[in-house]
Amino acid sequence: MAVDERSLWEKIADKLRSRSLWMLHYCTGCGAMELPPTMTSRFDMERFGMGPMATPRQADILFITGYLSAKTLRRVIYTYEKMAEPRYVIGFGSCTLNGGIYYDSYATINRLDYYIPVDLYIAGCMPRPEALLEAFNELMRMIRRGEANGWKKYKENYEWYKQNQIRSLGEVFVHDEFHE
Amino acid sequence: MTILKVIAVLLTGFFVGLTLEGIARKIMARVQRRYGPPWYQNFIDVFKALSKRGISHGWIFDFGILMALGGVIATLAFVPLGDLVAFPGLDNIFIIVYLFAVGALGMAMGMVGSGNPNASIGVARALTQMLGYELPYLISIAGVLYYYKTSSVSGLMMAQQDTWTLFKMPIGGIVAFVSLLGMLGKKPFDTPIAPAEIASGPMVELSAKYMGLLMLMHTFSIFVEIGLFVDIFLGVSNYFTFLLKFTIVWIIATLISSVLPRFRIEQVVKFYWKVPLSLAFVQVLFVLLGWVF
């Protein structure tokens, strides 16, 4: 089956999913600063049905807010693999695209796309809450049209992602947290 | 006929319960000067959660969630919604209180079965909090039962033809309402599900479908708890006035919870055993002395 083929039930479910996106309350870098104003009174993210969730089991979206160090990458991968299946990733700012101002740092990864599939990037350093809301609306449109299928790509190209993850994290295998 | 009535009770619980939860989110948003989600947001949330593919943690986990949902649904079938009584003559308050524990224990069993330490902490907190609110609640209810000489919930409702119990026994009514806030897990008493401290507590390992079932269980248990309060304290009512009184109690609880911070667990138990418990004893003393308005 092709990646973007959906049954009628999937289309209905995608409509529901787009109106009820629970984000994981987990932030990696400076872009997290823009989330509190987006959540609270002035911009009010909840009117789209979005809200923070404390645990990856219940979350639908994972935000990579800004730079991602190699140490945090391991946690991000654990978290992403814990989330329930239709799951979406949004990358904030230029750091997730090409490393941003940390492009030559030894401890920061340059391109998020090599490690986990990213559905949507938000340009800017840092993106304002207006840009975030625009991105959330765009993600909802993508989910309704069935274009936000990074989680399917992750399943199909798992070997490739795994190779990249292991290469970036050194010789340690990803699944074993307690024997690093 | 009984089956039709049970279905009517459950459908009321589902539609009115989810609608009222959405309205509560809206009210909470307006108190915080936000716009808030639409009133049907909770329907979308439940159906979305049921449409996702979740991860199980073994059969104890699955069975615990089914036991929680089934226990609460069984309890709801016994609660009279105004004049809609599914099992007339069997709506005894002891049956309801006894059956309602099945849901809580099922949830405790399933969540501990997930093996997450946060879930264990949350369940321990939930059961400790239960120890806090059950005592003043049941003592204040015992005063009511002693006064009316019946333990049937519709009998208690019918006994309030002239005056509401809330006005006859105001102290007991207030005690029961404060205990109700603890039962609902509303804001000063939302210690078991503290997202900032223990990552949603009992629900920490619940993904997708399991989360949807637990949201339904929460909706039904709200109906049991507030329904009992409305039946016992807020006078005689038919189906529609019952829903009206239910909505008003729910909105007052939401307004109180939207402006208060959270207690620690030992503060919860200390509070319940100091203030409402002493007030409940005072109320029972008044009932024994015949000082009822």
Contact of A10 with A135, CB cutoff 8 Å: no
Phi then psi for residue A53, to 5 deg, are -125, 140
CA dist A17 and A124 (Å) reads 27
* pLDDT for residue A174: 52
The amino acid at residue A32 is A
* B33, B55, B199 ranked by CB distance to A41: nearest: B33
Token representation of residue A176: 């074993």
* pLDDT for residue B198: 84
Q: Which residues of B touch A85 (CB under 8 A)?
A: 52-53, 208
CA dist B210 and A37 (Å) reads 31
Please report, rounded to a whole number, the percentage of residues in chain A having pLDDT higher than 70: 92
The packing angle between helices B117-148 and B93-113, to 10°, is 180
| pLDDT per position as a tens digit, B193-219 | 887 888 887 888 888 888 899 889 989
CA dist B235 and B25 (Å) reads 28
Q: Which residues contact B269 (CB under 8 A, 6 or more apart)?
A: B128, B129, B131, B132
Q: Do B51 and A20 touch (CB under 8 A)?
A: no
- Three-state DSSP at A53 gives strand
* pLDDT for residue A173: 56
Integer Rg of chain B from CA:
19
CA dist A41 and B121 (Å) reads 32
Contact of B42 with B25, CB cutoff 8 Å: yes
* pLDDT for residue B136: 92
Contact of B143 with B284, CB cutoff 8 Å: yes
Contact of B184 with B100, CB cutoff 8 Å: no
| pLDDT per position as a tens digit, B52-70 | 888 888 888 888 889 999 9
Query: Across the A/B interface, how many CB contacts are shorter than 8 Å?
Result: 80
CA dist B282 and B272 (Å) reads 14
- Three-state DSSP at B276 gives helix
Q: Average pLDDT, stretch B176-184?
A: 90
ipTM of the complex: 0.82
| pLDDT per position as a tens digit, A49-90 | 888 888 888 888 998 888 888 888 888 888 888 888 888 999
How, if at all, do strands A120-122 and A61-65 pair? unpaired
Least confident among B11-15, B201-205, B222-226 = B201-205
Q: Give the mutation candidate from A6, A8, A10, A16 for the B interface (greatest B CB count, under 10 A).
A: A16
